[in-house]
Amino acid sequence: MDQGEGASGRIDPELLGLRDSIDNVDAALIHLLAERFKFTKRVGEFKATHGMPPADLAREAEQIARLRALAKAAKLDPDFAEKFLAFIVQEVIRHHEAIKIDG
């Protein structure tokens, strides 16, 4: 049968190779995200200590513009890069709210 996965459940080597690459990229993404949340946790603590508000619209606008430019250069949809940042920032805010509740 002309399918990536045979009746025996064996996967075509080309598809398997692509999936292995995706898995490698995903492992790298997870570890970078873990590191990113360590940094944003420290930012949250810094801001709490110095009486700064959690949100900083000027900084966020800079981040969006920078990520859109990086995405464009890497041939990634800039709209997706912006949505991605919003997705991450949403989680950061959730963490910062948790810090406030804990403290």
Q: Does the protein bind its own copies through residue 40 (CB under 8 A)?
A: yes
Of the pair 26, 97, the CB lying nearest its own copies is at 26
Of the pair 46, 100, the CB lying nearest its own copies is at 46
Q: CB 97 → its own copies: shortest distance, Å?
A: 14
Candidate list 12, 61, 97, 100; residue touching its own copies; CB under 8 A = 12
Question: Measured on CA atoms in the order 19, 23, 28, 29, is the torsion positive or negative?
Answer: positive
Shortest CA distance to 80 belongs to which of 63, 68, 89? 68
How far from chain centre, in Å, is Cα 37?
10
Q: CB 25 → its own copies: shortest distance, Å?
A: 5
Q: CB 19 → its own copies: shortest distance, Å?
A: 7
How far from chain centre, in Å, is Cα 48?
24
